[in-house]
Structure formats: C-alpha cells, structure tokens
Structure 1
Amino acid sequence: MKRLWSFAVMLLFIIGVLTACSGNQGAASSSSGTKDTSETDYPTKPISVIVSYDAGGGTDTTARTLTPFLEKELGVPVNVINQPGGSGWVGWTALATAKPDGYTIGYLNSPNIAGGLVNPSVKREVNLDSFEVLANHVADPGVIAIRTDEKRFTNMQELIEYAKKNKVKANGSGVASDEHLVSLLMNQKLGTKIEAVQFEGTANSSTAFLGGHIDILVTSAGEAYNLHNSGQLKVIGVAAKERSAFLPDVPTFEEAGYEGVYSQATRGLAAPKGVDPEKIKILQAALEKAINNADHIEKMEKLGTQVSYAGSEEYRNMLEQDIQDITDLKDLLGW
C-alpha cells in the first residue's frame, strides 16, 4: 500500500514538472515574438483585385489574363472585382480606403488617374501616397480607329484634313484621360476640331463607336487589336514614336506627317497604404514572376497587349512623370 502511494505521489510530481515546462516554453515562445500562423502564413485566403472599369474592357481583360498566373505564385484564389464609375475614381477610392491587410489590391490606370490627381476642380482625399505601388503590368500606345464603312476619311491624312474643317466626335474616359489627351493634342498641334464625349470604360465607348454615335475611336493598341484583325474597325494611326508590334502595318502620326501627338496608357498594380511590408514583398515577388511568365506573355501578345514589367520604384517614377506631364498641360485642359 505504501508502495502504491509513493508511486502515485511520484507520478503527480512528474506531471507537474512537465506541465510547468510546457508553460515555460509557451511563455518563452510568446516573449520571443512568435506570431500565430494565421498572421505569418500569408496569404491564407482569396485576394481581390479591383478593376475600376467595366467587365470586357482592356483593363478587365488584362487583369483576368494575369490572375491565373498570380494564383499559381500565391497559392490562393485571386478574384477580379469590377468597380466602375466616376471615370475610374470609384474603384481607385475603394482601393485606397480598403483594409490594409494584403487581401485587396487593384489596378491603377495612367494617365487617367494622374489627370484626376492634377485636376484642381476636384478635391481628392486620395493621392499617390494613398497607395503602396507594387508593379507595372502593361504599356499600350494610343491609336486612332475608324469604322470599316467610313466614307468621309479612310486614313490619317484624310481624317486630319476633314477634322480641320468639320467637328468630329471622339471618345474619352474622363477629363485628362489618355483618350481625351490625344484629342486635345490633335486640336492643339494639328488644328483639328475634335470633341471628346466621355464614357465609362472602353467597352461603352467601343459600343458607341461601332453604333455610329461617335466618329472615331481613340483607344490603345491592345484594346483595338482584336477588333482591327477581325475587321470590325480599322486602326489608321499610332500615337507613338514607333509602330506597335501588334499593328505593324499601321503608321505612326509622325510617319503620316504629323508630329507632337504621343500617348501611352499604363496599367499597374497597387495596394492600399499601410499593408505590412513583409506582405508587400510577397505580393511584389509574386507579381514579378507572374507578369514575366512566358505563358502569360504569350497570352497577352495574342490579345495585342504589350507586357511591360516595372518594379515598384520604377513604376512609381512612371506615375510621378505622368502627373508632371499633365501638370504641364494645365493650360490646354483649361485648368
């Protein structure tokens, strides 16, 4: 009986020692700063990508082409969320004010967003510092397109001569958007009479153009590529210093005899300011691999969209340059 009692006491002592050691290890782990795995194993749930324009437009197509490759790198679903309105500002404001937990990122479209930041008539609570810039994805030169049944003008020379004497309606996606700036530059440099009609997104402006509600379509090479190749429209001029690799037979403005009209639309990704730096690094590394993936680049080329990866610092410099360029055009914009 004494032996059993002694054994029981010894067993309780051992259990007490083990429990104390376990508690001390837990305390030591806590004091050493070890975090819960839910905080360190980022990402652990789906990530949303805000697109500030309608489904079916160039940015939407760009985003949906990239997301499968980004999912592969991050190991979680990546979902495109369309939030159109306000010439892009509904989506950009939603991105800037999203919870900075790393689970919401989105596209910035420039010079559209740059124009909205420069415009003195609109008091924005959002600015470039509201975002954590991640990477640029694509860069598209601007182009001018006409309908295939257009009889008034069939090339750039005929369009310019006609537009010097007659009002021509074109599209825009907001004041100081890339489309709007092309029209303004043509009026300033070439003496044309082009009036911009503002639409929410490329899908709407393309529909209006094909329906005959506007005369010409100002868009990007990537957005016009498939429509041009399928014969739904005819691209007649590229607003860049070199021809687009996707539209090699289409001359630049300069080649057509008209200088000073240049336009490039960029689409890159950002997160709201305040996301943990370690999560930002994970997102940046995943985007670099996804954007530069050879299969992704091939898919983008089939869409006629030029992949143009730039890291966070270079991409921010691009955005800052767009802001400065539009600031220099304040007089042209009536600002």
Structure 2
Amino acid sequence: MQHIIRSCAAIAAAIMLFFAPPQVANAFPDEGLKLIVAYGAGGGTDVTARLLAKDLEATIGHPVTVENITGGGGWTGWSALANAQPDGYTIGYINVPNIYAGFLNPEMSRSENLSSFTPLMNHVTDYCVWAVSADSPFHSVADVIEAAKAEALSIAAHGFGGDDHLAIMRMERMTDASFNVIHNTSTAISLTQVLGGHVQVLGANVSEVIKLHEAGELRVIGVMAPERSKFLPDVPTFKEQGFDQVWSVSRGIAAPAGLPDDVKQILIKALKETLSSDAHRNAAEQLGLSLDIIEGEEYAKFLADTEGEVKTLMGW
C-alpha cells in the first residue's frame, strides 16, 4: 500500500513539474552596468560620465562603473563598446563629431561605423571655445587670427577630426589663418600645455574651462555658440566678434548593436528619468554642462545627419 502511495506521489510530482510554467529570467538590470568613456580622466566627457553614473545608480538600484579606455582618437574605447556583449550591461559615450573620423577617413580602413552601435540618448551639447593663458598677448579671436595670418600659431585640440579640430579647420578656411594643431588624447593634457606656455591657444569646450577662467588662470576669448553661454557670460561669441562660427561636441550614450528592443527601452526610460530629474539638472549646471536630451530614433537621425555634415567638411 505504501509502495502504491509513493508511486502515485511521484507521478503527481512529475505531472506538476511537466505543466509548471517556465522559470522567468531576472528582470533587467539585475546587476551593475559598465559605462565606457573613450577619453582620459578629467576631460569633459569623463566629468559628464561620472555625473551620469552617480545619478543613474540611484535610478536602477545597481552600481554604474565608469571605465576610461583611451587611445586611437577615441576609437580604442568605441571599439570596446561596439564589440561588447549586447546585453545592456555595457554602455558608453559616443562623441559627435569626434567619432566619425575613425571610420569615414578612408585611410583608417575601420570595420566599425554608426551601425555598430545602438543609439540611446544624447546627454550634453558642449560648445567649443578658444582660450589662452592669462599672460597671453591675445585678448580676442581677431587677435589670434591676425597673428596666425602672419605666422602659424600652435593650438591644442582633442583628436584628429574631433570638434576642436573641425572648428580650427573651418576658421582656417574662413580667414586664411594658419595653425599648427597639437592633437592630444585628453583636454587635461592640452590645458597643461597652454598653461605651461608650450602651446599658444587652447581649443576646448565650455565645461572644460569655466573654473580656470573664473580663477583668472585661463582667458577664454570666444565661444562658438549661437548666443553667449550662461556659464561664461563675460565672453563674447565668435559671431559677436565677426566670425560666423557655431560648433560643439555632443556627448550621448549608446550600447552595442544587436541590443534587444525590450532592454533598449528599459535603458532609455532609466536614462530619461535620470537626466530629467531636478537633482541631475542642478548638478549638471554646477559643472557647466548644458543638457540636451534627444532620445531613441530621433537621436539616431541626429547622428546620421551630423555624419553627412562631417563628410562634406572633411571631403571624405
């Protein structure tokens, strides 16, 4: 009798196991995220990323770790992002227009391009500036241009084909000035060169120079924005000084291509919630960062349109 009871119990258990619903996978994310920055510590992208990491952690309830992967004009880090597992646990910053040179330039022969990424959301638009050391003889953009027409001036930029470099090229074409461009892997290096008197002019972004300008260590002579920056209200725009120049870097977040759509939507929702919060906006303003939220398909279109502009400018 007991044998029969045990047999019946075993059969019942087997039937229950057979008809049991499948186990549901843990909801994404159930662990921390890695946030790749393709530039060195201390620059505008790194500062932006560390602010995002701190606030995104509060939104998703898991750590967000910033990893600086430098070199190759940013493409060492972007390649790492493109080749990461497309599971949502590795995301990273892509910098526009800097990212385009690595695959549009035919000399690079790079296999990756925009289709190697899943665009998620633009975060910050940071306008370009020119700055000089406090003891420089240059007090305006016109001062720099006139000197550069007589003899090539040295100017620090952040990577070939990046926003600083493209802005310099446009000014050369507009004015017939000539510059010896010093390309660096981070703005921190460029700042050291200019402050040390080794390079005459700095090409950078608003967020990267505010504190030094306020401290009187660096003199920003022009901002490439449509109107004066609220972070540098005493500095005239290039347009105010007679040069029709508007240029910036946009820092946005992407994941590898092949990201599942449900994971993509979760990330976009978490990012939008984070970037739209009053706490994040206030912290960004303290750092001189201008938030410019563009999400999903609209962000993908922005990236494609800007790629076309860079192709035209660079002749690629």
CA shift for structure 1 position 157? 2.4
Q: Which residue of 2 aligns with 1:18?
A: 12
For 1:40-90, what per-residue CA distance to the aligned partner results, in whole angstroms no more than 9, with x for missing partners? Answer: 421122110000001111101100011121111212110000000011000
CA contact 1:50–1:104 (8 Å) conserved in 2: yes
The aligned amino acid for 2:15 is: C
1:325 is the counterpart of 2:309: yes
1:279 alignment partner, one of 254, 260, 263: 263
Structure 2: distance between partners of 1:199 and 1:67: 25
1:222 is the counterpart of 2:213: no
Q: Which residue of 2 aligns with 1:308?
A: 292
Identity rate of aligned residues, in percent? 39
SS class of match (2:86): coil
The 3 A distance-change label for structure 1 pair 173 and 11 is same
RMSD: 1.6
Structure 2: distance between partners of 1:266 and 1:115: 15
The aligned amino acid for 1:165 is: A
CA contact 1:226–1:303 (8 Å) conserved in 2: no
Structure 1: distance between partners of 2:49 and 2:278: 16
Long gaps (5+) in structure 2: none
Structure 1: distance between partners of 2:100 and 2:272: 24
> Mapping of 1:24-43 within 5 angstroms?
24-26=18-20, 29-30=21-22, 35=24, 37=25, 40-43=26-29
CA shift for structure 1 position 118? 1.8
CA shift for structure 1 position 189? 0.4
SS class of match (1:90): helix
Structure 2: distance between partners of 1:58 and 1:114: 18
Long gaps (5+) in structure 1: 1-5
CA contact 1:115–1:323 (8 Å) conserved in 2: no
SS class of match (1:235): strand
The aligned amino acid for 2:105 is: N
CA contact 2:154–2:200 (8 Å) conserved in 1: yes
Q: Which residue of 2 aligns with 1:188?
A: 173
CA shift for structure 1 position 14? 5.0
Q: Which residue of 2 aligns with 1:211?
A: 196
1:138 alignment partner, one of 124, 127, 147: 124
2:33 alignment partner, one of 24, 42, 47: 47
- Larger-Rg structure: 1
SS class of match (1:252): coil
Structure 1: distance between partners of 2:77 and 2:210: 26
CA contact 2:155–2:180 (8 Å) conserved in 1: yes
CA shift for structure 1 position 212? 1.4
The aligned amino acid for 1:145 is: A
Structure 2: distance between partners of 1:229 and 1:25: 70
For 1:220-261, what per-residue CA distance to the aligned partner results, in whole angstroms no more than 9, with x for missing partners? Answer: 1111112211222011101122111211121111111222x2
The aligned amino acid for 1:19 is: A
CA shift for structure 1 position 218? 0.7
CA contact 2:151–2:178 (8 Å) conserved in 1: yes
CA contact 1:114–1:319 (8 Å) conserved in 2: no
2:157 alignment partner, one of 172, 194, 217: 172
1:68 alignment partner, one of 46, 54, 60: 54
Structure 2: distance between partners of 1:321 and 1:224: 29
Task: Give the TM-score taking structure 2 as reference length.
Answer: 0.95
Structure 2: distance between partners of 1:100 and 1:283: 12
SS class of match (1:328): helix
Task: Give the TM-score taking structure 1 as reference length.
Answer: 0.90
For 1:142-188, what per-residue CA distance to the aligned partner results, in whole angstroms no more than 9, with x for missing partners? Answer: 1111111112x222222222222121111122221111111111111
The aligned amino acid for 1:129 is: S
